Amino acid sequence: MVVGLIAWATLEWALAPTANTTQDHFDVLIVLGYPADADGNPTPTELERVTEAVHEYERGVAPRMILTGGAAHNRFVEARVMARVAEAQGIPAAAIEEEPEARNTMENACDSLRVMRSHGWESAEVVSSASHLPRAGLILSRLPLKWRVHAAPALEPDGPWMQGAMTAMEILKTVRYLVWARQMEPCTL
């Protein structure tokens, strides 16, 4: 049974949707959270995600961004740490919305959709790490918005062991999503 679940999750993860629209300009960029370090400084993963969102903002993909993530893994709110990075890289504070409550990817998506609806925004490009985007795509595919995912390139390439470990972790999280979260933790809007 365990092997079957992992095989199912691996297939879903590998075939996950990457968009539900062909548009190339969006109302907002959503940057999915990642924990800060123990001192509240941005980790390389946070820097990768925010830096890529800043590049997309500068390319005119969207005129604003939602930085999403609460204090899920330590006492530092991911959205606030990422907002500091975005502002330091030249994004005006008025173009940044912080979503400081989400504790996981499902909540990142649902809470960001609530922020979008409060502003009348209907479309988003979602920026995250490449290994994280398939699961994010599965979650986004069930939400009523126009979206596509966009991978943040790594600042430093990971070795094959690290890439394998990240993929394995994402597949295990996909098992949890498929078996539990999709049914038991739906997005309530």
* 3-state SS class at 145: coil
Taking 90 as the threshold, does the pLDDT of residue 83 lie above it? Answer: yes
Report the number of secondary-structure helices (H) and strands (E) in the chain. 7, 5
Residue type, 183: Q
| C-beta of residue 89 within 8 angstroms of C-beta of residue 54 | yes
Taking 80 as the threshold, does the pLDDT of residue 188 lie above it? Answer: no
CA distance 143 to 101: 19
- Identify the pLDDT of residue 157: 78
Average pLDDT score over the chain: 95
- Per residue in 14-24, pLDDT tens? 999 999 999 99
Q: Does pTM top 0.85 for this prediction?
A: yes
Going along the chain from its start, the domains and CATH numbers come out as: 18-157 (3.40.50.620)
- Per residue in 107-164, pLDDT tens? 999 999 999 999 999 999 999 999 999 999 999 999 999 999 999 999 887 788 888 8
| C-beta of residue 96 within 8 angstroms of C-beta of residue 177 | no
| C-beta of residue 65 within 8 angstroms of C-beta of residue 29 | yes
CA distance 185 to 177: 9
Taking 80 as the threshold, does the pLDDT of residue 25 lie above it? Answer: yes
